[in-house]
A and B are shown apart, each in its own frame.
Chain A
């Protein structure tokens, strides 16, 4: 959901407000994709480290306690997941199939209600298919992700990907790992089928 909100705002800003900077901003959003997923996640360890800039700033602002930390918390894992999968949403600005539905910029003053209505039905609606498509696309890798929880989270905060990985590699409980993987796969297929039923297959890829 965080990805969807940030991604929507990002896609909106790039698609409609960036002007001649549009292509540059798009490249900046998508550029992290050119580096390794593992490397990107490891870099968050530096950013959120106990003696890093972010933690010390938050401690100075008394948002975090003097012994407060961000690394190895749920916050770090969610931040990592959002960062890693945000480019999927930013890329929604690549295509605006409904650009023709944008609210016309008329001269003179418009009432706030009309302006909001025009914004929701025009600009925002124009980006909706792209964002929906990207959200569906990023659900699959995010569902099985275990790198973020392993590198940025605490040992207690496991995601289903971590459970499957540890059952396969550490415990050697192949039966449970296989069953869990199949259940996860069936759940994802179910969600994709719901998506296809609602939106068709054209926007899926």
Chain B
């Protein structure tokens, strides 16, 4: 006869491979990307980068690349031709 409570954690153990997969290929890369997006403006490949929570990167990215982000550039070019 099975003891009451035995196997209570089985579902969690079965979830483990999926959770590890998610952590390895989603959570860690997402965290890495998020930290990269908050690098300070003075960083470079030579001097290295530091997370300075510089949210201005988002503003400058939208300002500099809004045409690529919000409009299909190819359609725009098609209209020009």
Residue numbers of A with Cβ under 8 A of B are 74-75, 77-78, 149, 153, 156-160, 162-163, 172, 174-185, 187
Contacts and interface: CB of A to CB of B under 8 A. Distances in A.
Contact of B61 (A75, A78, A158, A176): A176
Interface residues of B, number: 29
A175 B78 contact: no
Pairs of residues from A and B, 5 with the lowest C-beta to C-beta distance, nearest first: A178-B36, A178-B37, A179-B57, A175-B39, A74-B74
A176 B64 contact: yes
Contacts, number: 76
A176 B36 CA distance: 8
B69 A160 contact: yes
Contacts of B58: 179, 182-183
B43 A175 contact: yes
Contacts of B74: 74, 77-78, 149, 153, 157, 159
Given A175-B41, A175-B54, A181-B33, 7 more contacts: A78-B74, A172-B45, A174-B43, A178-B33, A178-B39, A179-B58, A183-B69
Interface of B: 33-41, 43-45, 49, 54, 57-58, 60-62, 64-65, 68-69, 73-75, 77-78, 81
A202 to B, nearest CB: 20
Nearest to A184: B69
Nearest to A74: B74
B49 A175 contact: yes
Nearest to A148: B74
A176 B44 CA distance: 12
A158 B69 contact: no
A123 to B, nearest CB: 31
A177 B38 CA distance: 10
